[in-house]
Amino acid sequence: MISQGSEIRAKDGRAPDVFSRDGWVAMRQYREAEEVDVAVIGTGAGGGVVAAKLAEAGLSVVAFDAGAFYRPLADFASDEREQDKLYWTDDRISGGDDAIEMGSNNSGRAIGGSTVHFQMVALRFRPEWFQARSRLGYGRDWPVDWREMWRCYDEVEDALKIAGPVTYPWGPKRGRYPYRQHELNASAQVLARGAEAMGVDWSPCPISTVSAPRGKSPPCVYRGFCKIGCSTNAKQSILNTYIPRALAAGAEVRDLAMVGRIETGSDGRATGVHYHRDGEWRFQKARRVVVAGYSIETPRLLLNSSSPSHPQGLANAEGLVGTELMVHSNHAVWGVMEDEIRWYKGPPSMAVCEHWNYDDDKDFHGGYAFMSQGPLPTDFATSMVKNLGVFGMELRRRMALYNHMAGLKIVGEVMPTPANRVELSEETDALGLPLPRITFRFGENDRKLSDHALRFMRTMHEAAGARDIFETAGSAHLMGGCRMGFSAADGVVDGAGRAFSCPNLWIADGSVMPTGGGVNPSITIMANATRIAGHMIGAIARGEG
Amino acid sequence: MTSPPRRYPDYDVLDKRDSPSWDDITRHVVAGRLNPPERQFFDDALWDVLIALCDTIMPQPDRDRPIAIWIDAALAQNRTTGTRYDNLPPMREAWKRGLAALEAEARLCHGRPFHDLAQDAREALLKAIDREEVAAPEWNDLPPRRMFREVLANEIVRVYYSHPDAWSEIGFGGPASPRGYVRLGPNRRDPWEAEESAATRRSAEP
Ligand SMILES: Cc1cc2nc3c(=O)[nH]c(=O)nc-3n(C[C@H](O)[C@H](O)[C@H](O)COP(=O)(O)OP(=O)(O)OC[C@H]3O[C@@H](n4cnc5c(N)ncnc54)[C@H](O)[C@@H]3O)c2cc1C
Ligand code: SF4
């Protein structure tokens, strides 16, 4: 009766109807020997958008994902431990002075990718960040015009029916969000009070869960389990937006299908993908390949796809694949409030302050946003264990104050650095694929930024009435590893997402981001994927793709 | 060792099991949680260390909910977290070596097995390990703090707070689907949420 996420569901001409408990929708299928127009690897924020857009343009598309095809209504429990099934929990070797925590911290594995368990914060980049090097003096420029990104953000925000305020305090003047903002929970009101005391702007956070019915999605019921999957379908994830669109437009989605290698011919062009499904290795022929496995798996797959024409790994002629991996610093302050806050109610981050993304009077490069918090119990307890080393009765006493806690946590920009990277290790996984090895260290500027944030937020949290304040450090999100650049020496792919050293290979996920910005990345990844899909469709129509 | 005051004396999250706050899959999952399997992974010697470690990291003088057996079950399934720090061995080996090093440390410092030590001696030993003050050769190249925080304590705490009794203890609403919440503001509570005792609410003290 209950899926453990181990049964293949998308087969025999049908795929799960994600809006039902046990229903199906029709799915077109392609033969492996048939050369499809495009094979898409990964169905998350990047891959899901590309699969839908290309299929809607009339191309034949097969999208592969290593994860399962869930129906939220029947498969998502209100239980943290059970929902670990949504994360990429295979071993990845993590090292360096500030080794990154993987798994539930930043990596999903499911149809819909990490958007199935993301916290729905939907913030745009500051326009100048697309030219961070030339306009702000740090990081890299994107080979992208911010106005083109702006149009794509509009499209994505509408596709997800983002619920947000009538006016947003930062950035270029914008129209209203597609859906009205949600009522603020107590946790968000603490942020608001603090910001007003400090004289900085704050805003209800634009979030990707509907505030009114939309099609088969009911409005959000404020159950607060968003980070482990939304069981009501109020959350607008890739799984219940772009995937149904892709299927309706004739794309095939293959669940529990792990791509191990992209094949290339003697001319250096990609010819198809080797994937493992139902206990065996298989091969799908394709005219073009789009990779969207996120910042660890995309470099891992390319590095594991070396061939005589790509001896150092696919698209790695310049040795850039896997380099400049980024995270966001995710430091936080927490305190006890007199009021009952009960932060388990509602999406975890309902209020945001982007002041330090737009104020340039700072002694460091980059910026940060911070948001109100609402961690579930084991998430909060383990963050105290890992950061403070508390255990025993002391931990139980602190946890007894769960309903009186409030916190502020940053999404802090981290500078791109070549030594922070993904490589292949000597060890292999159960399928015989080399495990990724990740090396990460925060730099000098990164530390200055998080110190600044902790100082500011501590003062602000005190002003809001918090006491017994303590701090935690950490990271969130992944970006980079296969960045876009202006030339082959500057990036793995060009501004249209096409690999410099392999003309029928594109990358369309978070790994192509040259800088990380000070906001959560997914709508930027989706907007960029929208843009890349548009350029692909144009190139194919002109016979150049 | 006293338990924290009960802030939510009349609240038991399981009372909501048949209400609209719980759906079928959650009922199924939580029922499984209340029904531990047989031990499969650890041998008797390491099992004693693990039981004592769980009692120290999550002491339960007021009750006795099994923790160790769930760690055994996870390791029997080779359940991993997705992170293998490069200075730690793979999960199963990390647990075996971590517990063995802890036991060796207890014998070296106190001449007795870890599970024979009094609670405060066990706590002190764990705090020393967390400060990376270790002497037993079994630590060898293992990083004590990372082993303690990220492997041992992390998982024990996760298991403790995945039990419905722990949700009741802290006044967490627990499962909430299809019914979520209506009253979101400060000091507002839906009838199906935990009510805090007047005494602890006034103090908001630990
Ligand atoms: C807990 C959490 C909360 C978050 N909250 C927010 C938030 O509030 N706002 C925000 O903007 N962002 C948030 N994020 C980040 C956001 O989810 C990611 O940045 C985004 O989803 C990344 O998009 P992607 O397409 O690059 O990768 P993903 O969405 O991760 O998709 C990659 C997919 O590729 C599949 N895959 C990988 N390799 C292979 C292979 N070889 N073969 C087959 N399939 C493969 C994976 O299974 C996965 O499904 C959050 C992330 C996490 C983990
Ligand atoms: S709070 Fe809203 S978005 Fe989050 S899990 Fe609940 S219904 Fe879904």
Residue B66 distance to chain A (closest CA, Å): 16
Q: What is the DSSP letter of B61?
A: T
- For chain B, the residue count is 206
Q: What residues are paired with A498 via a beta bridge?
A: A506
Q: How far is the CA of A236 from the centre of ligand 2 (A)?
A: 10
> Residue of the nearest CA to atom 4 in ligand 2?
A226
Contacts of B58 in chain A (CB under 8 A): 391-392, 395-396
Please tell me the distance from the alpha carbon of residue B206 to that of residue A222, in angstroms, as a whole number.
Answer: 28
Instruction: Indicate whether residue A224 lines ligand 2 (CB < 6 A).
Output: yes
State the DSSP string of A173-214: -----SEEPPPP-HHHHHHHHHHHHHT---EEPPBSB-SS-B
Nearest to A402 among B2, B171, B175 (CB): B171
The pLDDT mean for chain B works out to: 94
From A62, A88, A124, A294, mutation site for ligand 1 pocket: most ligand atoms within 8 A of C-beta: A294
Pick from A301, A289, A297: which is nearest to A62 by CA?
Answer: A289
Burial environment of residue A166 by CB neighbours within 10 A (0 to 12, 13 to 18, 19 or more): exposed
pLDDT tens-digit map of B48-77: 999 999 999 999 988 888 999 999 999 999
Q: What share of chain A is helix, strand, coil (3-state, %, to 5)?
A: 30, 25, 50
> Residue of the nearest CA to atom 4 in ligand 1?
A118
What pLDDT sits at residue B204?
55
Residue A480 is assigned to a structural domain of this protein: yes
Residue B125: enclosing H or E segment and its boundaries? Answer: helix B119-130
* Helix pair angle (B44-57, B119-130), 10° resolution: 90
Res A296 pLDDT > 90: yes
Residue A281 is assigned to a structural domain of this protein: yes
What ipTM was assigned to the predicted interfaces of this complex?
A: 0.96
Q: What is the DSSP letter of A502?
A: -
Instruction: Indicate whether residue A481 lines ligand 1 (CB < 6 A).
Output: no
Res A1 pLDDT > 80: no
Domain holding A171, by residue range, is 36-89+108-541
Q: What share of chain B is helix, strand, coil (3-state, %, to 5)?
A: 50, 0, 50
Residue A385 is assigned to a structural domain of this protein: yes
Residue A3 is assigned to a structural domain of this protein: no
pLDDT tens-digit map of A176-189: 999 999 999 999 99
Instruction: Indicate whether residue A225 lines ligand 2 (CB < 6 A).
Output: yes
Ligand showing the shortest atom-to-Cα distance for residue A480: 1
Q: How many domains does chain A have?
A: 1
Instruction: Indicate whether residue A242 lines ligand 1 (CB < 6 A).
Output: no
Please tell me the distance from the alpha carbon of residue B12 to that of residue B25, in angstroms, as a whole number.
Answer: 20
B98 in Cβ contact with B91 (< 8 Å)? no
Q: How far is the CA of A222 from the centre of ligand 2 (A)?
A: 5
Contact state of A91 with B80 under an 8 Å Cβ cutoff: yes
Q: How far is the CA of A388 from the centre of ligand 1 (A)?
A: 29
Res A327 pLDDT > 80: yes
Nearest to A94 among B29, B84, B188 (CB): B84
A13 CB neighbour count, 10 Å cutoff:
11
Res A330 pLDDT > 80: yes
Contacts of B175 in chain A (CB under 8 A): 77-79
Contacts of A209 in chain B (CB under 8 A): none
Nearest residue in chain B measured CA to CA from A90: B82
Nearest to A189 among B171, B179, B186 (CB): B186
Contact state of A389 with B148 under an 8 Å Cβ cutoff: yes
pLDDT band at A398 (very low <50, low <70, confident <90, very high): very high
Instruction: Indicate whether residue A222 lines ligand 2 (CB < 6 A).
Output: yes
Please tell me the distance from the alpha carbon of residue A402 to that of residue A200, in angstroms, as a whole number.
Answer: 28
The pLDDT mean for chain A works out to: 97
Q: Phi then psi for B26, rounded to 5 degrees? A: -65, -40
Which ligand 2 atom is at minimum distance from the Cα of A347?
1
Residue B167 distance to chain A (closest CA, Å): 8
Pick from A325, A331, A421: which is nearest to A368 by CA?
Answer: A331
What pLDDT sits at residue A114?
98
Res A363 pLDDT > 90: yes
Q: How far is the CA of A214 from the centre of ligand 2 (A)?
A: 14
Q: How far is the CA of A358 from the centre of ligand 2 (A)?
A: 30
What pLDDT sits at residue A15?
98
What pLDDT sits at residue B152?
98
What pLDDT sits at residue A470?
98
B150 touches chain A (CB under 8 A): yes
CATH of the domain at A331: 3.50.50.60
Res A478 pLDDT > 80: yes
Residue owning tokens 């061995």: B89
What pLDDT sits at residue B200?
73
pLDDT band at B206 (very low <50, low <70, confident <90, very high): very low
Pick from A232, A225, A330, A263: which is nearest to A19 by CA?
Answer: A232
Instruction: Indicate whether residue A299 lines ligand 1 (CB < 6 A).
Output: no
Nearest to B59 among A385, A393, A402 (CB): A393
Q: What is the pTM of this model?
A: 0.97
Residues 11-40 of B with CB under 8 A from A: 22-26, 28-30, 33
Q: Minimum mean pLDDT among A98-112, A496-510, B119-133, B190-204: which range?
A: B190-204
Residue A491 is assigned to a structural domain of this protein: yes
Contact state of A223 with B177 under an 8 Å Cβ cutoff: yes
Instruction: Indicate whether residue A230 lines ligand 2 (CB < 6 A).
Output: yes
Please tell me the distance from the alpha carbon of residue B199 to that of residue B206, in angstroms, as a whole number.
Answer: 12
Residue A14 is assigned to a structural domain of this protein: no
User: Could you give the count of Cα atoms lying within 13 Å of A443 in the half-sphere of its Cβ?
Assistant: 17
For A123, A203, B41, the CA distances from A369, given in Å and listed in that order, are 10, 11, 45
pLDDT tens-digit map of B85-127: 999 999 999 999 999 999 999 999 999 999 999 999 999 999 9
pLDDT tens-digit map of A424-438: 999 999 999 999 999
- In chain A, pLDDT over 70 holds for what percent of residues? 99
Instruction: Indicate whether residue A118 lines ligand 2 (CB < 6 A).
Output: no
Residue A448 is assigned to a structural domain of this protein: yes
Residue A24 is assigned to a structural domain of this protein: no
Return the number of CB contacts < 8 Å for A and B: 223
